[in-house]
């Protein structure tokens, strides 16, 4: 049985994207009382044109719903399926040339949301994230993703090693990332495989040792300045778009 949960997302741009891409998930949209913002007026019009349920609340109640005062005057209640429920075998059977992103212990919701946004934009069709010691898909993540959580499969699990074994059995090339790796990210050649999976590690310690050992290749992004490494979401964008060039 699929466990459906209620989640809240907030922000004008994020909610507009969900209306456009995945409106069937929307249960209700809450607008701030007596708003005058042109962007909110346009969003209200868009919501009514799609026949969505709308309710007005005061700003404090909106803050309580989404646990943030950065809601921009609008909060959306959506129905999400349990992220632990996903048939990976069926996905691998039906998806031609899969493009997968694995996120290992990304703790900051803004970084997680930014990685999801980029993955959606670049054409990834599956994101797999570690469930423990990782940011949940919270309202802040939905906001940072700007609607990127819609229209893409997201799967939560703690068995990333088992996932990688299954991917490799299906001839999917697994690319790990580490700022100390010897291979340049532009040297990755996955053309002879049925798909590709990119793994990004946590902000502080990177990928776990076990996952590194399981990869087909470990690569790094060159640093020419004085900083040690890139922000995880920036590095994720560089890696994904480099892979996408050859797909």
Per residue in 175-212, pLDDT tens?
A: 999 988 999 998 877 776 889 999 999 988 889 899 99
97: alpha, beta or left? (left if phi > 0; alpha if psi -120 to 50):
left
Provide the pLDDT for residue 241: 95
Res 230 pLDDT > 70: yes
Closest CA to 139 of 3, 2, 11: 11
State how far the Cα of 131 lies from the Cα of 105, in Å rounded to an integer: 8
Res 222 pLDDT > 70: yes
Residue where one domain finishes, among candidates 52, 81, 110? 81
State how far the Cα of 50 lies from the Cα of 220, in Å rounded to an integer: 45
Residues 225 and 147 reside in one and the same domain:
yes
First to last CA, the chain: 36
Q: How confident is the model at residue 229 (pLDDT cuts 50, 70, 90)?
A: confident
The length of the chain, given as a count of residues:
247
Residues 43 and 149 reside in one and the same domain:
no
Residues 62 and 170 reside in one and the same domain:
no
**5 or 1, which is more confident:** 5
Average pLDDT, integer, range 81-104:
84
Backbone φ and ψ of 6, nearest 5°: -95, 130
Provide the pLDDT for residue 2: 37
Question: What total number of domains does the chain contain?
Answer: 2
Residues 148 and 197 reside in one and the same domain:
yes
Q: Could you tell me the pTM of the whole model?
A: 0.78
Residue where one domain finishes, among candidates 19, 52, 81? 81
**18 or 28, which is more confident:** 28
Lookup: tokens for 209: 């040792």
Backbone φ and ψ of 149, nearest 5°: -75, -15
Q: Which domain holds residue 59?
A: 4-81
């Amino acid at each position: 049985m699929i466990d459906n949960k209620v989640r809240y997302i907030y922000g004008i741009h994020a909610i507009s994207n969900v209306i456009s891409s995945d409106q069937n998930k929307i249960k209700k949209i809450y607008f701030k009382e007596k708003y005058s913002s042109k962007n909110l007026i346009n969003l209200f019009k868009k919501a009514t044109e799609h026949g969505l349920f709308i309710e007005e609340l005061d700003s404090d109640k909106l803050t309580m719903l989404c646990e943030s005062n950065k809601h921009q005057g609008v909060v959306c209640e959506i129905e999400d399926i349990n992220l632990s429920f996903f048939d990976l075998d069926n996905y691998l059977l039906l998806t031609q040339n899969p493009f997968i992103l694995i996120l290992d212990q990304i703790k900051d919701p803004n970084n997680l949301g930014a990685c999801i946004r980029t993955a959606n934009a670049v054409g990834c069709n599956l994101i797999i994230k570690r469930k423990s010691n990782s940011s949940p898909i919270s309202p802040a993540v939905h906001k940072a993703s700007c609607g990127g959580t819609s229209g893409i499969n997201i799967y939560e699990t703690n068995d990333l090693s088992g996932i990688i074994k299954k991917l490799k059995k299906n001839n999917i090339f697994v690319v790990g990332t580490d700022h100390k790796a010897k291979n340049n990210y532009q040297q990755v050649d996955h053309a002879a495989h049925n798909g590709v999976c990119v793994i990004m590690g946590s902000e502080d310690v990177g990928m776990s040792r076990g996952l590194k050992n399981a990869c087909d290749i470990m690569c790094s992004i060159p640093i020419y300045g004085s900083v040690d490494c890139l922000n995880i979401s920036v590095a994720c964008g560089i890696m994904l778009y480099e892979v996408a060039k050859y797909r």
